[in-house]
Chain A
Amino acid sequence: FFPRKLKWSKNNLTYRIVNYTRDLTRAEVDRAFKKAFKVWSEVTPLNFTRIRSGTADIMISFGTKEHGDFYPFDGPSGLLAHAFPPGPNYGGDAHFDDDETWSTDSRGYNLFLVAAHEFGHSLGLEHSRDSGALMFPIYTYTGNTGFLLPDDDVQGIQALYGAGDRDPNPEHPKTPEKCDENLSLDAITELRGEMMIFKDRFFWRLHPQMVDAELVLIKSFWPELPNKIDAAYENPMKDHVFIFRGRKFWALNGYDIVEGYPKKIYELGFPREMKTIDGAVHIKDTGKTLFFTGDKYWSYDEENQVMEKGYPKLIEEEFPGIGNRVDAVYQKNGYIYFFNGPLQFQYSIWSKRIVRVLKTNSMFWC
């Protein structure tokens, strides 16, 4: 919050779009702002009405450099926008830097996302230190459809105005905590020597030379990838990371999605009726990739690009003791690490047995 918890003393607020950017059509700008207000009105009793003349509570404008409020913008990138906390005159007003390239997708700065953040300030929210929150001060692209206001922002705005009675999506995403006792994971892979540990909308980057894991939104690296991925593995020979979600899978080469993807998992040789893959791990020594789905696993020959004969097999038969399902899996130094809920099992490929049971969050030295 701002000092003294500044807020509006009324629930019916007006806004006016004073001018437009040339990057988008007027209709696109109108839609972006309307949608951005809706983010906040859905979780509070606040109502926003657009007016086309006179002074509104929230005056919205595009400007460059010094634009009349003594808080100049700085040209392309850097500062994108700013907004004043609730109050008279400039209070609540939101200004957007027209030296930026604004877009309705991920090609420029997404106007809807920036506007939703700025209107948070207009309503009384300061910056959050939760990197998954809308009110985190650094711009991150979070996808173009189905935006869900993160829980941290909901807690903040409802502390000021209370909850509304029309929230169509009461499930607001929380930012995962790496040291959560009950932490479970979606997928794990290596990427050029780093570990990437996927959970919900995020992944943690764990570099051997970094002391702490960095939490990053999946969309900020790969805008086209879905959230909540099922499985991932690296094929270092091809310098590709493969990402699985539902029946589709993508091949990544650094920041780029390899041409021709996404593909369907049946193209790998799985039965057409198979819906998801729970975990995948590439075994460098054999050149085989193991896919885990339900209580079974498959072996894929990367060199010949065929599923091996004799599969699927029961997980329990080959890897006794790890349970009958796998959330995520990776291989390192002759061991396969299987994750199942809050536990991980360290399995020795050489001695074919579990050598250690650890907490899932021990990945992060918790």
Chain B
Amino acid sequence: LPIPHEDSDEFTTEDLQFAERYLKTHYNLRSNPAGIRKKNANSVAAKLREMQSFFGLEVTGILDEETYELMQQPRCGVPDVGEYN
């Protein structure tokens, strides 16, 4: 999983999958098409930064306890306007 956390022992595989799903749903995170990978680009980190900045969390681009906790809170999932158009 492309979660850029060097020391991710605190999160299980399910946690990481949950975080990725969250970013796909709310931050338009796109899956990399099979076989194609952009060099030096980590879209998960970018989306995490976007989310952390929106919620006023410390912007690290890394999944930490506080970010994960916020992801678990009940929320609205307004459909992505770009995709809708």
The residues of A with any CB-CB pair to B shorter than 8 Å are: 2-3, 6, 69, 71, 73, 77-85, 87, 90-91, 109, 114, 117-118, 121, 126-127, 129, 131, 137-139
Contacts and interface: CB of A to CB of B under 8 A. Distances in A.
Interface stretch (B1-9, B35-43, B71-79): B71-79
Interface centre among B55, B70, B78, B85 (most CB of A within 10 A): B78
B76 A84 contact: no
B70 to A, nearest CB: 7
A163 B24 CA distance: 36
Nearest to B25: A79
Given A81-B77, A139-B75, 16 more contacts: A78-B75, A79-B76, A79-B77, A80-B77, A81-B76, A82-B78, A84-B84, A85-B81, A90-B84, A109-B74, A114-B76, A121-B78, A137-B78, A138-B74, A138-B75, A139-B74
A117 B74 contact: no
B33 interface: no
Contact of A83 (B54, B56, B78, B82): B78
Contacts of A114: 76
Interface string B41-85: 000000000000011100000000000001001111111011011
Closest 7 CB pairs of A and B: A79-B77, A139-B74, A82-B77, A2-B81, A137-B75, A71-B79, A138-B75
Contacts of A81: 76-77
A12 to B, nearest CB: 23
